[in-house]
Amino acid sequence: MRILAAMLKHETNTFSPVPTDLARFRAWGLYEGEAVPAAYRGTNHPLAAYLDLAEAHGAEIVTPVAAEAMPSGLVQREAYEYLTGLILEELARGGFDCAMLDLHGAMVAEPDWDGEGGLLEAMRRIAPDLPIAVTLDMHGNITERVVENCTVLVGYKTYPHLDMAEMGRRAGTILLDAMAGRCRPVMAYGRLPLLAQTLRMGTADHPMGPLQAMTKDEEARPGILAASVFGGFPMADIPVAGLSAIVVADGDEAAARSSRDRLLAWAWEEREEFVYRHEPIGAAIARAKGINDAPIVLLDHADNVGSGGTSDSMVVIRELIAQNVEDVAVAAVWDPPAVQAMIAAGPGATLTLDLGGRTEMPSIGARPEPLRVTGVVRSVSDGEWIVRGPMYTGTRVTTGPTAVFETAGIRIVVTTHHHEPWDAGIFTNNGIDPRHCRYLLLKSRIHYRAGFAALAKAHITLDGVGVTTSDNAILRFDRLERPIYPLDPDAAWSP
C-alpha cells in the first residue's frame, strides 16, 4: 500500500494586516519530503498518527509537505500555489492507494477563499476515486465543497487542541477500514446561521463542552463512526463561516442525518451562550487586583496572535502601568527592532524604547501606537525550544531572537516571530518562572489553558484593541452570508 500524507494548515483572519507568505510558513514550520517524518513523528499532530498507521500496516508513506503558519491575513497566491502544488504534483505521479491530510479548515487564500476546498477539489480532478481522509481543526469554517471531495472527515473535539493525533488516528483508521471492506462511510453535513465567538468555545466551558460531549454520545450509537462539531472561525469575512457539524456513519445516511440534526438543534437552542459578554477594562483589572491568590492569568484576547492578531497592541500593557499593577510577566509582544536593540545593548543594560505598536490595523481603524518605556534588558535568547506541554507536544517552535524587557514591575517577552503563548516554554526558555509571578498577561484566548490552566488561580479577560476583537460591532462583514446570529438577532434555523 502507498499512502500520500501531507499537512497544510492556516487559520486566516481576513481582518488581519499581517501578511501570510512563504516566509511566514517557514518561520513556523515548512518541511518537504524526507524532512517531514523527522519533524513530526512522535508529536501530537494528526500527521504523526498517519505516520504510525502507515508503519502499523506495513505501508509506504510519501510526505510531500508539512507546512503550518501562525494565523494571520490572506494566504498569498504564491504561497498557496507552491504548497498545494507540492501535494498535487506528487499525487499526479500516481500509484497511491489513499491520501491522509492534516488540514485546518479556515484557510482563505488570495486565489480561493475556501483554501481546503480548492485543494481537495484539485486532488479529485487528478484522482477521482482516491480514498481521502481529512482531519480538521475545531475552528474550521466547513463548506460543502470540502465534504464532497473527501471520503472521511473528522474534527478535533478539544479546545485547547489536545486530541489532534487522536483524531488523526480515528480518521485514518476509518479510511483504512473502508478500504478493507470493513465499513462504508457516508457523511451528513449541516451548518447553522451562527457566528459563534472563539472565547465561548473552550471545551472546559458551557456551551462547547456539553456539545462536544454530545458528539461522543452520538459515536456510541450503532453505526456512527465519527461525529464532529466545528465552532467555526468568526474572524473571516467569507461567504461561509460559523458553526457546523459532520457525522460519518457506516452506510446509513438516515442515521448520519439524524445525528447531525440533534447536534445542530442543541447548538441553536444555546446560541446566546456562544456570544461573549464584554466588561470595561478598568473594572476587569480592578477585579484582578482584588484577588489574593496567584498567579492570575490576564488575557489580552483582542490581540491574540493565535487568531491573527498583530501581537504588538500595547493598550492593555499601558493600562496595567497606569494602574500600577506590578509583578507581571507578559507573553508576548512582537517587535523585531526592539529585540535587536536589546541584543545590541546586552543583558543588564538600561534602555528607553518605543515598544510595540508598529502595525496599522485599517480593518478596525487602529493606528500604530508604540509605548515609550524605560527599563532593563533582563535576558536574550534564540527563541527556540521543544514543547513539553499537552498541546503540540514534541514540536520544536521558535520565536526567533527574543529578549525580556523589564519596566515598571512588568517583564515583557519580546519576540521576532509571532507566537501564541500556549506553552510555559515561552517563559521558562526566557528565564521566567511563571509559578512565581502574581500576574501572567497572555495574548491568547483559550489555547493558553494547555500550558497554564493547572497553574492559574484565576482567569480574567481584558478587552483591549486588536483584530481578534470579540466586539462584532467593530468589524465590517461584507461577504458573509446573511442573516446570521448574532449579527442579525432575528436569524432563524430549523432542521
Is 435 inside any structural domain?
yes
Is 159 inside any structural domain?
yes
Indicate whether 330 and 430 sit together in one domain. Answer: yes
Indicate whether 262 and 333 sit together in one domain. Answer: no
Q: What percent of the chain has pLDDT over 70?
A: 100
Indicate whether 267 and 304 sit together in one domain. Answer: no
How large is the average pLDDT for residues 45-49?
98
The model's pLDDT over 81-118, given as tens digits with 9 standing for 90+, comes to 999 999 999 999 999 999 999 999 999 999 999 999 99
| Length reported for the chain | 495
Q: How far apart are CA 237 and CA 108, in angstroms?
A: 10
Domain boundary residue, one of 248, 274, 300 = 274
Q: Domain count for the chain, please give it.
A: 2
Per-residue model confidence (pLDDT) at position 2: 98
How large is the average pLDDT for residues 224-239?
98
Q: How far apart are CA 367 and CA 352, in angstroms?
A: 22
Indicate whether 338 and 420 sit together in one domain. Answer: yes
Indicate whether 343 and 246 sit together in one domain. Answer: no
Is 495 inside any structural domain?
no
- Of the candidates 190, 188, 204, 206, the one whose C-alpha atom is nearest the C-alpha of residue 271 is 206
Name residue 45's amino acid.
Answer: H
Domain boundary residue, one of 228, 249, 274 = 274
Per-residue model confidence (pLDDT) at position 336: 98
Indicate whether 240 and 321 sit together in one domain. Answer: no
Per-residue model confidence (pLDDT) at position 195: 98
Per-residue model confidence (pLDDT) at position 363: 97
What band does 343 get if pLDDT is binned at 50, 70 and 90? very high
How large is the average pLDDT for residues 314-339?
97
Is 240 inside any structural domain?
yes
The pTM assigned to this predicted structure is 0.96
Per-residue model confidence (pLDDT) at position 57: 97
Per-residue model confidence (pLDDT) at position 398: 94
Q: Calculate ∠ Cα 26-27-32, nearest 5°.
A: 25
Is 35 inside any structural domain?
yes
Q: How far apart are CA 81 and CA 202, in angstroms?
A: 33
Query: For the residues of 117-185, what is the DSSP string, one character each?
Result: HHHHHHHHHH-TT--EEEEE-TT----HHHHHT-SEEEE---SS---HHHHHHHHHHHHHHHHTTS--E
Here the CATH number for the domain that contains residue 202 is: 3.40.50.2300
Burial (CB count <10 Å: 0-12, 13-18, 19+), residue 362: exposed
- Of the candidates 121, 274, 302, the one whose C-alpha atom is nearest the C-alpha of residue 196 is 274
Indicate whether 101 and 226 sit together in one domain. Answer: yes
Q: How far apart are CA 339 and CA 336, in angstroms?
A: 5
Per-residue model confidence (pLDDT) at position 165: 98
- Tracing cell 486566516 back to the chain, one arrives at 12
Let me know: does 21 contact 53? Beta carbons within 8 Å: no
Buried b (16+ CB within 10 A) or exposed e, 429-467: bbebebeebbbbbbbbbbbbbbbbeeebeebbbbbbbbb
Indicate whether 262 and 317 sit together in one domain. Answer: no
Query: For the residues of 383-446, what is the DSSP string, one character each?
Result: -EEE--SSSSTT-EEE-SSEEEEEETTEEEEEESS-----STHHHHTTT--GGG-SEEEES-SS
Domain boundary residue, one of 246, 274, 302 = 274
How large is the average pLDDT for residues 196-209?
98
Rounded to the nearest integer, the mean pLDDT of the chain is 97
DSSP H/E element including 284 = helix 281-289
Is 428 inside any structural domain?
yes
Indicate whether 269 and 289 sit together in one domain. Answer: no
Cβ neighbours around 213 below 10 Å, total: 11
How large is the average pLDDT for residues 421-430?
96
Indicate whether 266 and 322 sit together in one domain. Answer: no
The model's pLDDT over 112-144, given as tens digits with 9 standing for 90+, comes to 999 999 999 999 999 999 999 999 999 999 999
Is 493 inside any structural domain?
no
Let me know: does 234 contact 196? Beta carbons within 8 Å: yes
The model's pLDDT over 249-268, given as tens digits with 9 standing for 90+, comes to 999 999 999 999 999 999 99
- Tracing cell 489532534 back to the chain, one arrives at 164
Indicate whether 176 and 312 sit together in one domain. Answer: no
Residue 90: domain span = 2-274
Query: For the residues of 400-416, what is the DSSP string, one character each?
Result: SSEEEEEETTEEEEEES
Q: How far apart are CA 256 and CA 252, in angstroms?
A: 6
Per-residue model confidence (pLDDT) at position 325: 97
Is 479 inside any structural domain?
no
